Structure 1
């Protein structure tokens, strides 16, 4: 289960970076903002998983 969550976090971060880059390239502020939000979700999920791992070991 933890591996799945970690991969979801990485996927969200990657998709967010891509959306942000595309948004900047075409001048779409909404798409840029959506990308940042998605990256933040991925960062939060990753932090949660790291915290869980710290308590397991």
Structure 2
């Protein structure tokens, strides 16, 4: 996760403030957990592992 966070989010664009960086983190985390393919999960996002309630 940390390597992916650094490569795909933290160093992809310059941030001019910590507020800007914090605001950009939430949408990226949603993408990471709900739509981004993960090789360890056969191309599925982490939320695919959750049981429906």
Q: Same fold (TM over 0.5)?
A: no
- Between 1 and 2, higher relative CO (CA 8 Å, sep ≥ 6) is seen in 1
Whose helix fraction is larger, Structure 1's or Structure 2's? Answer: 1
Pairwise TM-score range, normalised by the shorter structure: 0.3 to 0.5
TM-score, scaled relative to structure 2: 0.37
TM-score, scaled relative to structure 1: 0.35
